[in-house]
Amino acid sequence: MTDLSFDKVSITYRSASARGDVVAVSDISLDLPTGATLGIAGESGSGKSTLIMSVLRLLPKSAQIDGQVRLGGNDIKDLSFGEIRAVRWAQASIVFQGALHSLNPVREVGGQIIEALEHHAKGTWTNPAKRRDRMFELLREVDLDPSKAVAYPHELSGGQKQRIMIAMALACEPDIIIADEPTTALDVIVQKQILQGLAKLVAERGISLLMISHDLAVLSAVCENLAIMRFGKLVEYGPSDRVCLDPAEDYTKQLAGAFPQIGDPESRMNPRTLKPAEVRRAEPFTKTSEVVLEAKNLNVSFDTRQGRERAVRNVNLALHKAEILAVVGQSGSGKTTLARSLLGLQEVDPGSQMEFAGKALPRKAKALRTFRRQVQMILQDPSGSLNPKRSVYEAVVEGLRVQKITDDEYARVVGALEAAELTPAADYLESIPQELSGGQRQRVVIAGALALDPQVLIADEPVASLDASVRGEILSLFLALKKNLGMSALIITHDLGLAWNIADTVAVMKKGEIVEYGDVDTVLANPQHAYTQELLAAVPRLGSQSLVRNE
Amino acid sequence: MTTPTHSYPGPAGGPGGGDPAGGPGGADPGAPDLLGPGQPRDMDEPPKGGSFLGYLLRKLGGALTSMILVVVLGFFAFRMLPGDPVLKIAKERPMSPAQIAELRSQYGLDKPVIVQFWDYLVGIFTGDLGESYVYRKPVSALIVDYLGPTLLLTATAAVIAIGLGLWLGQLSAWRRNSLFDKVASSTSLVFWSVPTFWLGLILLMIFGGTLQWLPTGGMITPGLDPWSFAGIIDVIKHLILPVITMVAVVYAQFLMVMRASLIEEMSEDYLTTARAKGLTEDEVRKKHAVPNALLPTVTVVFMHIGGLIAGAVTVEAVFSWPGLGKLTFEAISGPDLPLLQGTFVVFSAIIIVMNLAADIVYRFLDPRVRRA
């Protein structure tokens, strides 16, 4: 078997640009004995990915490694390229974020698994027939139908792609599996299935697991030991229960606190953040009984190859003034279609009624434009929703120009940026998105919506692509907008913790239907529908390797 | 480093992405599903692809529409050309007004435009493209005679230019900013910026004139049987200079588009996966990076093959190659309206067929298009 150890590892990216050399990892010592599970948590820029890529020498040429990365006693620096190629996948394999782009889009997934076997036959998978059998065996092990072998990545769901990645990692019976954010971008139920499957396969075979994630709860649900990284340095290391439940360092506390514990009264209506948004009104707005946006008997159908399918079924929803409503569901539950319908972006079935401020939603282009001034949309990925070549000012002002609001353009933009807590606004006006952090970009997107003084914000997974600490800031901003401006918000999410943090009401969607709808306190504390209970149970909790041990 | 200023359509703008992605599947990855028969499906599993026949019919429909537009344009565009062909003929030999009128009625030029248009349409569908004023032969027969040499010349040039361009392009991208990349890219751009006729004339002067290594024009030495061994060698000798000229001028665009699209692929995550699996760099490039980089390239390549055939006009004129290009060149100086119309329709048809071929090839190369 193979032990992995990092001994005083520092990794520097040498660069000829003005930024000079960048130290990504400094002085990390960690051990992963055979059969152990270790989680490394950290936010973006903490150097955790750089650290694990060094194990298989997958870093770009500009990276310089000091210290020793030892695999089975050998310093990987001493291996020739041929030797490191033999180590790759045969001794240590990596589970990348399969849900994203880690599979070749133009090749069948089965063939991509076989490719690994071809390179590391190990005397076992010596001919094509044996490799094929092995591939089918692997698919069964990760609970995939063998017919999926001929599928292309785009034909699979996120969870299925992740299972393919795991099957591929197991292919050559490695001693170590390195999992790089294996469940990011998956919803809680699929996340639970993937983590349980991975942990079980690893435990059965005595494989060591090194997992990195920005989500402390995910790591602590699977790993025995946890390391916390920040700015390339090791902040804390220890058994995962101790690190999560009794952290010694402030940063660990902050990271652990960023994820809400559903049912914990302290985090109810109070997202944890070091930078809470300011509530300026002495008497903040609270949820009223005045209905702003309402959907009655809403149905949306699509024509697909299998015939007509209903994405949204008989949905009844009412969004009140100064209410935050969270629509929670898995991917594919129809929640995004619901949001698009409420914005008038999606054609709905006859008989569906949607009302804004008591009037039916307009259909004509001109009336729709006026309506959209009142209801603004915020998308998930701020990097994707901002034009990389336009300045912050141009990004925010665009809505105003589309709506032909010309008076006080500058003041409105500055006001919107300040409402989104980008202060002083003047410092940001000329920046382009690439100069801003993820949280700042999302604030710019929100400012773009706020510039039009909308009554309703509809946000689609507004914090899913953000780091834990930034997540708290943005959620706190939503809460402050409601309290200061009396704004209503409908937030689409797969994160029940978000609902617990800021929402007044929650609607749980499954296969296009709302299965449970009510006050957050009632629904999450005492879920009635089996599906809500399932969702709640799938949320990883801090400590105790909860996902692995309970089963 | 020089970068081409041409904007190349990516897969989205190419024929593959012709259908708007805003369909239900594109809007929400989670169109709901009723469980497929027998086969459990994930809630957010994307729907299966459509049939090839439907795709083919749609693309054929599109090609047909373009063809109709070309036919209509072919008629009216040439009516607007300056110069009266009958008067031109009359200038060359003395003719009485009565003879001129007779010539006019013989060519059908005295009829109303709409009737002429109708005759033209009927002609096209019956394969009768009229009679050339200059050659005094049916246009369709002329085109059949001259099409072969053009296809021989352009197909040879296209295969070499594409092969050379793509091969150099992927190597340049993989060794980006190396000496090889710099030399290969800049050389290709130098040739790209050289005028075709100028390069042709220079080659002709050096290899045909001064050195007398190669023949200076035509396709075959008169009197030789093209199907005999000596004849084939002779044709190849005649081919060398025009092919080199055409290849040199166009291969840069294939190199550049391949280089750009491979560089884009080089930062993709699936290449890291491939490396982590223990593949050598060559395997990563050949098995993973290049197949993906070929996708946007194919679109551009097919679009340019069509252009290559039309671009043969210059080369054929310089090397007196008895092809459609030379025929068109002579028809313009007529103006020989029926011949111009005929070559115009044939050139356009070739381009439309090439684009159709690109759509079909693309569907085989990119599994994602199979859903469209």
The pLDDT value recorded for residue B105 is 76
* Predicted-assembly ipTM surpassing the 0.85 threshold: no
Taking the Cβ of residue A464 and every Cβ of chain B, the question of whether any pair is shorter than 8 Å is answered with: no
Least CB–CB distance from B30: residue in A93, A107, A333: A333
List the domains of chain B with CATH numbers: 52-79+142-370 (1.10.3720.10), 83-128 (no CATH)
The pLDDT value recorded for residue B15 is 38
Pick from A434, A436, A399, A439: nearest CA to A416: A399
3-state helix, strand, coil in chain B (%, to 5): 70, 0, 30
The pLDDT value recorded for residue A210 is 92
Taking the Cβ of residue B37 and every Cβ of chain A, the question of whether any pair is shorter than 8 Å is answered with: no
Pick from A210, A223, A170: nearest CA to A540: A223
Place of tokens 């020498």: A57
Taking the Cβ of residue A296 and every Cβ of chain B, the question of whether any pair is shorter than 8 Å is answered with: no
**What value does the mean pLDDT take over residues A66-92?**
86
The pLDDT value recorded for residue B160 is 93
CB of B239 closer than 8 Å to CB of B148: no
Residues 6+ apart with CB under 8 A from A16: none
Place of tokens 């809630």: B43
Instruction: List, for chain B, all residue ranges whose pLDDT scores fall below the cut of 70.
Output: 1-50, 81-93, 310, 334, 370-372
Report the distance separating Cα A234 and Cα A243, nearest Å: 13
Residues of B in contact with A145 (CB under 8 A): 39-40
The pLDDT value recorded for residue B32 is 37
Least CB–CB distance from A336: residue in B28, B45, B275: B28
Q: Which of B34, B44, B178, B267 is the best residue to mutate to test the A interface, defined by the most A CB atoms within 10 Å of its own CB?
A: B44
Query: Which ranges of B221-336 would DSSP assign to H, the alpha helix?
Result: 229-265, 269-276, 281-283, 290-318, 324-333
Residues 6+ apart with CB under 8 A from A139: A110, A113, A145, A146, A148, A149, A167
Return the structure tokens found at B79: 């009516």
User: What b/e sequence results for A449-479 when a residue is b if at least 16 CB atoms lie within 10 Å of its CB, and e otherwise?
Assistant: bbbbbbbbbbbbbbbbbbbbbbbbbbbbbbb
CB of B277 closer than 8 Å to CB of A119: yes
The pLDDT value recorded for residue A457 is 92
CB of A499 closer than 8 Å to CB of A325: no
Query: Do B31 and A304 count as a contact with CB atoms less than 8 A apart?
Result: yes
pLDDT digits (tens, 9 = 90+) for A12-22: 888 766 667 88
Taking the Cβ of residue B282 and every Cβ of chain A, the question of whether any pair is shorter than 8 Å is answered with: no
The pLDDT value recorded for residue A458 is 93
Helices B139-174 & B337-365 angle (0-180, nearest 10): 40
Report the distance separating Cα B115 and Cα B54, nearest Å: 38
Taking the Cβ of residue A174 and every Cβ of chain B, the question of whether any pair is shorter than 8 Å is answered with: no
The pLDDT value recorded for residue B372 is 46
State the distance between the two ends of chain A, measured CA to CA, in whole angstroms: 28
Q: Would the pLDDT of A404 be above 80?
A: yes
Q: Would the pLDDT of A444 be above 80?
A: yes
What confidence category does residue A488 fall into, taking pLDDT thresholds of 50, 70 and 90? very high
Q: How far off is chain A from B155, nearest CA to CA, in Å?
A: 28
Residues 6+ apart with CB under 8 A from A26: A10, A47, A232, A233
The pLDDT value recorded for residue B61 is 92
Return the structure tokens found at A133: 């059998």
Q: How far off is chain A from B354, nearest CA to CA, in Å?
A: 23
Q: Would the pLDDT of A470 be above 70?
A: yes
What confidence category does residue A319 fall into, taking pLDDT thresholds of 50, 70 and 90? very high
Bigger pLDDT: B255 or A270?
Answer: B255
CB of A228 closer than 8 Å to CB of A255: yes
Q: What is the mean pLDDT of chain A?
A: 85
Q: Would the pLDDT of A424 be above 90?
A: no
Question: Which three-class secondary structure string do you get for A332-395?
Answer: CCCHHHHHHHHCCCCCCCCCCEEEECCEECCCCHHHHHHHHHHEEEECCCHHHHCCCCCCHHHH
Least reliable range by pLDDT among A59-63, A535-539, B223-227: B223-227
Report the distance separating Cα A243 and Cα A248, nearest Å: 7
pTM of the model: 0.76
Q: Would the pLDDT of A445 be above 50?
A: yes
The pLDDT value recorded for residue B350 is 84
CB of A457 closer than 8 Å to CB of A488: yes
Helices B139-174 & B229-265 angle (0-180, nearest 10): 50
Residues of A in contact with B28 (CB under 8 A): 311, 334, 336-337, 340
Taking the Cβ of residue A104 and every Cβ of chain B, the question of whether any pair is shorter than 8 Å is answered with: yes
What confidence category does residue A246 fall into, taking pLDDT thresholds of 50, 70 and 90? confident
Taking the Cβ of residue A148 and every Cβ of chain B, the question of whether any pair is shorter than 8 Å is answered with: no
CB of A313 closer than 8 Å to CB of A299: yes
Query: CA dist B210 to A49, A58, B238, B286, B318, Å?
Result: 65, 57, 16, 44, 17
Least CB–CB distance from B278: residue in A89, A303, A305: A89
